[in-house]
Amino acid sequence: MSTVTVIDYSRAGKKGFPLYPEAHPEITLPTKEIPASEATPEQAVDPKQALMLYAADKRWQKETGGFEFNGLHIATDDRSKIMIAGAREAAKGNPDFTTPWVTATGELAMLDAATIIAISDAVGAHVNNVFGIFSQVLPQILGGTITDQAQIDAAFA
């Protein structure tokens, strides 16, 4: 499990550390290691770590944010991806398969086997694309080409 060094704000106001650390930039604040999955970009001490955390969050938001498919908004949160995969399995075994489907916007649509399979393929492509962008962004952060959140936002736009 990867960790991130963050400022330990729980020690602010305690022995040797000011209660309002932002008012005393000359004092080095205590740090601690926490799992990267629990850290926010604002907590990270290292600017590159902060950008990497921001990129990871942006990737997750994009991955789970859904997309449009033939006029339907398809949800891509983890539960929806599982349901789509299950419907695909049913559709693969039965070309006459149909199912009522509630889209991310609440619209009810009757989907046939070919449409379910096409949606499943599109979900796979969507997720693969998002991870592809992420895999390009990380080395650019580490190499210093990407230096702010706006550049990450632009990469995922």
pTM: 0.77
Q: What angle do CA 76, 63, 43 make, to 5 degrees?
A: 130
Q: What angle do CA 81, 86, 91 make, to 5 degrees?
A: 120
Residue pair 74/68 in contact by the 8 Å Cβ criterion? yes
Please compute the mean of the pLDDT values over residues 115-138 and round it to a whole number.
Answer: 97
- The Cα–Cα gap between 24 and 3 comes to 27
Of 26-35, 73-82, 111-120, the least confident? 26-35
pLDDT at 119 over 90: yes
Residue pair 133/59 in contact by the 8 Å Cβ criterion? yes
Residue pair 142/47 in contact by the 8 Å Cβ criterion? no
Question: For the chain, what are the domain ranges?
Answer: 1-39, 46-157
Residue pair 4/39 in contact by the 8 Å Cβ criterion? yes
Tokens in use for 7?
């400022």
- Residue 1 — pLDDT band, cuts 50, 70, 90? low
Please compute the mean of the pLDDT values over residues 64-68 and round it to a whole number.
Answer: 96
Instruction: State percent of the chain over pLDDT 90.
Output: 64
